[in-house]
Amino acid sequence: MSLNYYQLFDLPPIFNIALATLETNYRKIQSEAHPDRFVTASSADKLKSMQLATLANEAYQTLKNPANRAQYLLTLNGINATNESNTSMPADFLMQQMEWRETLEDASMASDILTLQALYDEMLAAAKGLAADLAQLFDEKKDYTNACETTRKLIFIDKVCADIQQAIEHLD
Amino acid sequence: MALLQISEPGQSAAPHQHKLAIGIDLGTTNSLVATVKSGMATVLQDEHGHALLPSVVRYMPDGSVQVGHEAQAQQSHDPANTIASAKRFMGRSLKDIADRAHIPYHFVDSADANKLLQLQTRAGLRTPVEISADILKTLKMRAEKSLGVDNGRGELLGAVITVPAYFDDAQRQATKDAARLAGLTVLRLLNEPTAAAVAYGLDNAAEGTFVIYDLGGGTFDVSILKLTKGVFEVLATNGDSALGGDDFDHRIYCWVLDKIRESDSHFSPLNEQDTRLLLTKSRQAKEWLTDNHEAQIVCRLSNGSLVDVMLSAQQFVALTQQLVLKTLTPTRKAMRDANLELTQINGVVLVGGATRMPQVRQAVEDYFKQTPLTNLDPDKVVALGAAIQANALVGNRSDNDLLLLDVTPLSLGLETMGGLVEKIIPRNSTLPVARAQDFTTYQDGQTAMSIQVVQGERELVADCRSLARFELRGIPAMAAGAARIRVTFQVDADGLLSVSAREQATGIEAHVLVKPSYGLTEDEITYMLKSSFGSAEADKKARMLAEARVNAGAIISAVNIALNQDGALITAAEKQAIEAEIETLQTLSQNDDALAINQGVDKLNHATEAFAAARMNASVQRALNGKNLDAINL
């Protein structure tokens, strides 16, 4: 069995992790494993170094981002949040989702960067709320069914954020 | 009194001896070489006291090659054989060159629009890689002389060579090829803004979030870094690999041409010499305007007519306003990618000679709402940072406190149905990074497939740069859709891509055939090496043998050091097996068979794989105070 990302960084498998510890331990590992430490080493050492440094980067990015972390934590509990059978969403969230999409499209058409930025801020606030919910669902209630639904909401919001960024980039 | 340590005859000198390594800033306009001497990063000068080597190469009538100031002085007289700004053409094909009409070189036309471009010179066809190699050779010689390599004061282990952060895979590979042609070992390709951040950050003990705004002769980069206790973490990078000080010269040049046309309606197009002359005058006017209100441009063209015009600073600002604005688009992109507000930026460092222009400084100040930092020489800071990194890479820094975490500037994607791009590695991913992607077959019994990898941010394959077309061969014959071929794309610490593939069900390693859409083939490199070191077959053999021996010596010493440090991690039998391979390789090295030596190196490498994994595990374990990572499946 291989170590999971939490074990790699010496962290408990919870949602509300200490980000400072994550960062410190990530740097400790890269200080030892990074290919820059093996420039004059044998090619076997170089290969191992690249593999471990790559793994540490992947693990760090996964645990740093709340949506990725939630998704990963669900996987550790045997749940695939993006599985095709996991598609149900509450009606009110679907409504809201359509509204956000419409605002995004209208603002893009009208080249309205200010509205796009306001929408982006709104999404960030919504993401923050969902992350707080996830901390409760995962760490206190151990309610993985609802955590899965909330995770999917968060993934959706991340995607809208990326689309807003892209729309702003196009207009810039 | 201290006892003198004397090593056994034939063995290498004491391990604490200072290892020689250099940092090279291979610039569009000027190049520099620096090193760390007694703990201080220093730029090395030539015998005339010049630190900057103009990146100009002239192929002389007598077959020799001139590099630097002398070549630059002859630019207007011998334009077709005197190549400047070759960096702009690195890894590029003819179709990438937009303003060919204004470049006084003889580009070689090719039926294949994707073929790397070549220039016709007196010395024959020359690629930008060979021209850059001539510059690197000059810097290498300067360093060897200055460091006393020839006098036996040590061996030059290698160089860190800087590249614009926004260089793509083709441009990076071309830079590495050039170093190889120049006989330099590349320790690392380092992004220029990161190098600047290292020099600036260590000098000022800076902590916080910094923007490096780097406008060089031909390239623009902007990087945002977080500096914490010797760790330089790049949060985002962006840029334009075809925008720099040259373009400002060019705006002046076009303005002068317009002025000439206004006064002379029969004016005919300029010849190469006049083009070069006016470009040089334009550059001088640009530099003059940094500290003056107006610049007079006077010169006599080859047809005898006199050009005499006056350019005011105000006019210059108006002429180049669009260029300055063009740098702010990548800057905003980088800020968005890093998810930062302007108020979170602790400092903005200006790098590159072109940032001396007052309008550039003003634009940066207006955007970031703070005065940019200019206390380091913008021409030297990149080379100094490269030297510091080179010094750390060869292990001269006793404290392991310098760590650079850089990113990939451009997204990597795959061609999918309909010419669309599926992104697999997004831009600004921390290096090294890998992504696996599963593929399956389309037809029964299919044993090969072709995969196109592209680099860029656009959605259509046609709008991105094609990196390579990979052919997977040797897929076991199965029903359509039954094979699961996992292809792994790995971008290493130099920002270069490699690909491996494995069929999941059978575990068969599919053979990956790399057909680069760019870059030099192994044959072309061998040919160039041959022609640059003399064409005799014996020379080539001698060189290969020398290379193989150096290589074998390096690995033997690396393994011996590892065994001394961590020999306890493996069983006596394992240790014996490794020592046997070392002995075999040592014997082979004394013979003259390069191929056998290389095979011995491969065998020793193979024998140390498990040992390497154990060592890696142990060092990480130490880092995290006792966490056992034995179970990491590497």
Domain boundary among A64, A80, A115: A64
Nearest to B403 among A31, A61, A168 (CB): A31
Active site residue B192: yes
Alpha carbons within 13 A on the beta-carbon side of A103? 19
**Is there a single domain that holds both residue A100 and residue A59?**
no
Q: Judge if A165 and A104 occupy the same domain.
A: yes
**For A22-44, what is the mean pLDDT?**
91
Q: How far is B413 from chain A (nearest CA, A)?
A: 17
In terms of phi and psi (left: phi > 0; alpha: psi -120 to 50; beta: otherwise), the region of A158 is alpha
Contacts of B3 (CB under 8 A, 6+ apart): none
Cβ of B633 under 8 Å from any chain A Cβ? Answer: yes
Query: Which residues are CB-contacts of B481 (< 8 A; sequence separation ≥ 6)?
Result: B440, B441, B442
Q: Residues of chain A whose C-beta is under 8 A from some C-beta in B?
A: 1-3, 7-8, 10, 25, 27-37, 39-45, 47-55, 57-58, 60-61, 165, 168-169, 172
**Which strands make up the sheet holding B485-491, listed edge to edge?**
B433-439, B485-491, B497-503
Residues of chain A found within 8 Å of residue B392, distances taken between Cβ atoms = 36
Instruction: Indicate whether A105 and A46 sit together in one domain.
Output: no
Q: Which of A64, A79, A107 is the last residue of a domain?
A: A64
SS3 B534: coil
pLDDT per residue as tens digits for the range B349-376: 999 999 999 999 999 999 999 999 988 8
Least confident of A82-86, B328-332, B495-499, B549-553: A82-86
Q: Is the pLDDT of residue A2 over 70?
A: no
Give the chain B residue whose CA is nearest to the CA of A4. Answer: B632
> Is B616 within 8 Å of A49 when comparing Cβ atoms?
yes
Lowest mean pLDDT among A56-70, B114-128, B340-354: B114-128
Cβ atoms B56, B75 nearer than 8 A: yes
Of residues B533 and B525, more confidence is placed in B525
Whether the CB of B612 is below 8 Å from some CB of chain A: the reply is yes
Tally of domains within chain A: 2
Q: Which residues contact B626 (CB under 8 A, 6 or more apart)?
A: none
Provide the 3-class DSSP secondary structure of residue A134.
helix
Mean pLDDT, residues B158-162 taken together? 97
Q: Is residue A72 part of a domain?
A: no
Residue type, B149: V
Top mean pLDDT of A78-87, B227-236, B536-545 is at B227-236
> Cβ neighbours of residue B523 under 8 Å, at least 6 residues apart?
none
Select the residue of A40, A42, A169 nearest B394 (Cβ to Cβ). A40
Q: Are residues A50 and A100 in the same domain?
A: no
- Give the one of B403, B558, B634 whose C-beta lies nearest to A30's C-beta: B403
Q: Where are the alpha helices (DSSP H) in B434-532?
A: 522-532
Q: CA–CA distance from B166 to each of A116, A135, B243, B264 (Å)?
A: 28, 39, 11, 42
Residue B214 designated active-site: yes
pLDDT bracket for residue B113 (50, 70, 90):
low
- pLDDT value at residue A164: 92
Average model confidence (pLDDT) across chain B: 85
Closest CA to B187 of B621, B599, B529, B493: B493
Q: Does B159 touch chain A (CB under 8 A)?
A: no
pLDDT per position as a tens digit, B556-572: 888 888 888 888 888 88
Q: Which of B46, B168, B177, B192 is catalytic?
A: B192
**Both A41 and A107 in a single domain?**
no
For the CA atoms of B99, B31, B384, B345, what is the dihedral angle to 10 degrees? Answer: -10
List, for residues B485-499, the tens digit of each pLDDT value.
Answer: 888 888 999 988 887
Residue-range definition of the domain harbouring residue A52? 5-64
Could you tell me which of B239, B225, B270, B65 has the C-alpha nearest to residue B167?
B239
Residue B483 CB partners (closer than 8 Å, separation 6+): B440, B441, B446, B475, B476, B503, B505
The verdict on residue A40 lying in a domain is yes
Q: How far is it, in rounded angstroms, from Cα B314 to Cα B622? A: 61
Mean pLDDT of B26-36: 96
- Across the interface, do B623 and A43 touch by the CB < 8 Å criterion? no
Query: CB B30: neighbour CB atoms within 10 A?
Result: 23
Looking at the structure, tell me whether residues A157 and A122 fall in a common domain.
yes
What confidence score (pLDDT) does residue B9 get?
43
Within B78-163, strands assigned E span 82-84, 119-121, 124-126, 156-163
**In terms of pLDDT, which residue wins out, A23 or B630?**
A23
Asked if residue A155 and residue A103 are part of one domain, the reply reads: yes
CATH (domain of A10): 1.10.287.110
Q: Is the pLDDT of residue B630 over 60?
A: no
Respond yes or no: is residue B87 known to be catalytic.
yes
DSSP B373: B
In this predicted model, what pLDDT tens digit does every residue of B373-392 receive, in sequence order?
A: 988 899 999 999 999 999 99
Residue B14 has pLDDT above 50, yes or no: no
More confident residue, B45 or B304: B45
Q: B619 — contact with chain A (CB < 8 Å)?
A: yes
Angle at B405 between CA B38 and CA B397, to 5 degrees: 20
Of residues B236 and B589, the one with the higher pLDDT is: B236
**Where does residue A16 fall: left (phi above 0), alpha (psi -120 to 50 degrees), or beta otherwise?**
beta
If asked whether residues A56 and A114 sit together in one domain, one would say no
pLDDT(B532) > 80? no
pLDDT at B626: 53
A46/A107 same-domain check: no
Mean pLDDT of the residues in chain A: 90
More confident position, B112 or B467? B467
Give the model confidence (pLDDT) of B281-325 as tens digits: 999 999 999 999 999 999 998 888 889 999 999 999 999 999 999
List the CATH number of the domain containing A106: 1.20.1280.20
Residue A31 lies in a domain: yes
A14, B103, B331 from A17: Cα distances, Å = 6, 58, 32
What letter represents residue B269's amino acid?
A: P
Quick one: pLDDT at residue B210?
A: 96
Q: What pLDDT is attached to residue B148? A: 85
Is A85 inside any structural domain?
no
Q: Is the pLDDT at B18 greater than 80, yes or no?
A: no
The Cα B179–Cα B188 span in angstroms is: 11
- The residue from A47, A64, A81 where one domain ends is A64
Q: What number is the average pLDDT over the span B252-275?
A: 86
- Residue B612 predicted with pLDDT over 60: yes
d(CA A145, CA B481): 33
Task: In whole angstroms, give the CA distance from residue A92 to residue B66.
Answer: 74
Q: Is the pLDDT score of B165 beyond 90?
A: yes
Asked, for residue A146, whether it belongs to a domain, the answer is yes
Paired residues of B485 in beta bridges: B439, B503
Instruction: Give the residue from chain B lying closest to A1, CA to CA.
Output: B631
Residues 89-128 of B with CB under 8 A from A: none
Helix (H) or strand (E) holding A131: helix A113-135
Judge: A33–B619 Cβ closer than 8 Å, yes or no.
Answer: yes
Q: Please tell me the predicted confidence (pLDDT) of residue B7.
A: 42
Lowest mean pLDDT among A23-37, B153-167, B404-418, B529-543: B529-543
3-state per-residue secondary structure call for B378-446:
CCCHHHHHHHHHHHHHCCCCCCCCCEEECECCCCEEEEEHHHEEEEEECCCCECCEEEEEEECCCCCCC
Residue B626, burial from CB neighbour count under 10 angstroms (0-12, 13-18, 19+): exposed
Q: What pLDDT, on a 0 to 100 scale, did the predictor assign at position B539?
A: 58
Judge whether residue B540 has pLDDT over 50: yes
A4-21 in b/e form (b: 16+ CB < 10 A) is: bbbbbbbbeeebbbeeee
Instruction: Tell me the whole-structure pTM to 2 decimals.
Output: 0.85
Residue found under tokens 């391990």 = B15
> Is A131 within the bounds of a domain?
yes
Q: Which of A128-137, B257-266, B471-480 has the lowest mean pLDDT?
A: B471-480
In a shared domain, residues A43 and A112: no
Q: Which of B222, B342, B620 to mutate to test the interface with A (most CBs of A within 10 A)?
A: B620
pLDDT for B154 equals 77
Q: Please report how many Cα atoms fall inside a 13 Å half-sphere around the Cα of residue A74, on the Cβ side.
A: 25
Asked if pLDDT for residue B231 goes beyond 50, the answer is yes
- For residue A162, the distance in angstroms to the closest alpha carbon of chain B comes to 10
Picking from B433, B622, B632, the nearest residue to A3 by CB comes out as B632
DSSP string, A26-92: HHHHHHHHSGGGGTTS-HHHHHHHHHHHHHHHHHHHHHHSHHHHHHHHHHHTT--TT-TT-----HH
Query: Do A57 and A10 belong together in one domain?
Result: yes
A161 found inside a domain: yes
Distance from CA of B427 to the nearest CA of A (A): 13
Pair (A99, A155) in one structural domain: yes
Residues of A in contact with B609 (CB under 8 A): 44, 47
